[in-house]
Every structure is written in structure tokens, then in C-alpha cells.
Amino acid sequence: MPSPVFSSRELSLDNLDSIFSLLRHELGNPLNSLKITLEVLTQNYQHFDDEKRLAFLQRALEQVGRQHKFLDAMKTYYRSNIFDIRPVPLSAVWNAFVHQSRMKVLEKQIDFKQTLEDPELWGLVDGAAFNRVLEMVFDNAVDAVENTDGACIEAFAGRSNGHMKVSVTDNGCGVEPDYLHKVFTPLYTTKEEGTGLGLSVCQRLMDKMNGWIEFSSRPAQGTEVVLWAPLAGKEMVPKIDALHPEPCESESAEPDEAGADGP
Ligand SMILES: Nc1ncnc2c1ncn2[C@@H]1O[C@H](COP(=O)(O)OP(=O)(O)O)[C@@H](O)[C@H]1O
Ligand SMILES: [Mg+2]
């Protein structure tokens, strides 16, 4: 039976309700605590000794720190810009991603499998932004399999329906169908240390690259996140000669490696 899918294309202004409610919670709670802390300190200033005053001031600073952390996370969201959309060889993005991912699972009991189906594909994306999206999706998969026996994450890259298709599948905790529509909402998180900005930034970046994300999940079974992005047309892809105009002497002595240079 297929898993319920939520596409980032289905986001609507209804989500503003949850965003405002989360904002009120995230900024309102520490602000309230700060107010109470300062009120108690002011009312009892004469009776408190230096040690107690210092403790109250430190508590107030911690509460300001929480608001700061939250505002920093918001900055990450609106600064997630796309600078440079152009033909990018999928193999280059993939190699960087696989290397980073292997480092991340090195000390963990996670089996990481990856398939690059077509190393000749070129996407029309911002390479750095696409890599950031992949990293954030992978980090979520790592979090999701934290308590899974036989934890496994599989990544796939290839072509489907005239698009570049990149997927990350895990066999972790999954998401209840009732919460599926929330995963792209800014600030929605189920993690103690989460910001709830990973997938919303991913959605924003993919949208700017004329792509989108599909998120399908089953509780206690796992999650598949699929990134769809435009392919670069053949006419857009630089010729090999243009990429390597004049091989230097030492390189020209080496035999060509098949598939290393893209199409
Ligand atoms: N692979 C996954 N498996 C299970 N739940 C996930 C997965 N990816 C995302 N989620 C859910 O979506 C929420 C939002 O994710 P994200 O925006 O990256 O924020 P964060 O990772 O900071 O919580 C997560 O807190 C989690 O509940
Ligand atoms: Mg995340």
C-alpha cells in the first residue's frame, strides 16, 4: 500500500495560523518568563543578597538567549537565497553529498546505501543550494532512525518524468498521517533541539530552483523524501572541450577515465 504523500506544492496560507501560533509560543513564553524574573528581582532587590541578584540576572540572560536563538533561526529562513542557477553535473553534487553523509554515519549504527543511476545527468540548479537541501533532508533521516534496530538510509539519484529525481529513504520513526501536512510549516518540530526550519528552508530553496519536494511517510515504518528539479537541456550543457580547454602536460599523459567528465 503506498504511503500518504505530502507535496510542498500543496502549501497554502492556512499554514499562517500555525505559524502565528508557533511564533506566539516561541517568543511569548521566554518573554513572559523574562518579565516575571525581572519583576521578582525588582520587588525583592533590597532583600536579596548579591548572590541571589546575580542568579536572577543570569536567569534573565538565559531567557533572552532563547529568544535570540529563535531569531537567528528565522534569519536562516529568510536568508536562504538562490544565487546561481545553471547547468550542474549531478555526479558532482552527488559525490559531495555521499562523502558528507558517510562522515555523518561513521560513528553510528546506520547502514547507508546510495545509487547514482545516471552519472551523465545535468540539473538546472544552484549546486550549493541543492547540496544544502540534500544535507538537511539527510540530517532528518539520521534523526529519524536514531532508535531503529537495523537503521538504514538509502539515497537515489536519477531521471524520472523528464525531471531530475533525488530521493532519501529511511526506515525510522515516520510521521503520523495527521501531522504530515505540518512538516513544511516553518517552526514545526517534534525534536527537543529542533528549529523546525529544515524542511521549510528546503521547500523555499527547491521552489526558487523551480523544483519541489514530496514527503511520504508511515509511522514506525519510515519516510521517503523526493526532490524534483529541472534537468538541463543538452544545448545548455558545456562541451567537454569548453570545460577542459588545454589539458596540462602531466594530465594529458593519463588515460581518460570513463564517465568522469559528464556528457
Ligand atoms: N525523515 C523523517 N522522518 C520522520 N519525521 C521527519 C523526517 N523529516 C522530517 N520529519 C518531521 O518534520 C519535522 C520538521 O523537520 P525540519 O523542518 O527539518 O525541522 P527539525 O529537524 O528542526 O525538527 C521534524 O521535527 C519531524 O517531526
Ligand atoms: Mg531538520
For the segment 172-193, what is each residue's pLDDT rounded down to a tens digit?
A: 999 999 999 999 988 889 998 8
65 assigned to some structural domain:
yes
Percentage of the chain surpassing pLDDT 70?
86
Order across the sheet with 163-170: list the strands: 5-7, 212-218, 222-230, 163-170, 152-160, 111-116
Q: In this structure, which residue's CA is closest to atom 12 in ligand 1?
A: 183
Q: What is the pLDDT of residue 9?
A: 61
110 assigned to some structural domain:
yes
Using the structure block, give the residue that is written with the C-alpha cell 550549493: 128
61 assigned to some structural domain:
yes
Regarding beta strands 152-160 and 212-218, do their DSSP bridges make them parallel or antiparallel, or are they unpaired?
unpaired
244 assigned to some structural domain:
no
Regarding beta strands 152-160 and 111-116, do their DSSP bridges make them parallel or antiparallel, or are they unpaired?
parallel
Q: Which residues line ligand 1 (CB under 6 A)?
A: 140-141, 144, 170, 172-175, 183, 188-191, 194-200, 223
183 assigned to some structural domain:
yes
215 assigned to some structural domain:
yes
The parent domain of residue 201 ranges over: 1-235
pLDDT of 197 strictly over 90: no
263 assigned to some structural domain:
no
Instruction: Work out how many domains the chain is built from and give that number.
Output: 1
Which atom of ligand 1 sits closest to the CA of residue 172?
3
For the segment 233-247, what is each residue's pLDDT rounded down to a tens digit?
A: 878 787 765 555 555
Q: In this structure, which residue's CA is closest to atom 25 in ligand 1?
A: 189
Centroid of ligand 1 to alpha carbon of 233 (angstroms): 34
Question: 121: domain CATH number?
Answer: 3.30.565.10
Alpha carbons 146 and 104: distance in angstroms, whole number: 13
Q: Which of 76, 85, 56 is nearest to 229 (CA)?
A: 85
255 assigned to some structural domain:
no
Question: Which of 118-127, 165-174, 240-249 has the highest average model confidence (pLDDT)?
Answer: 165-174
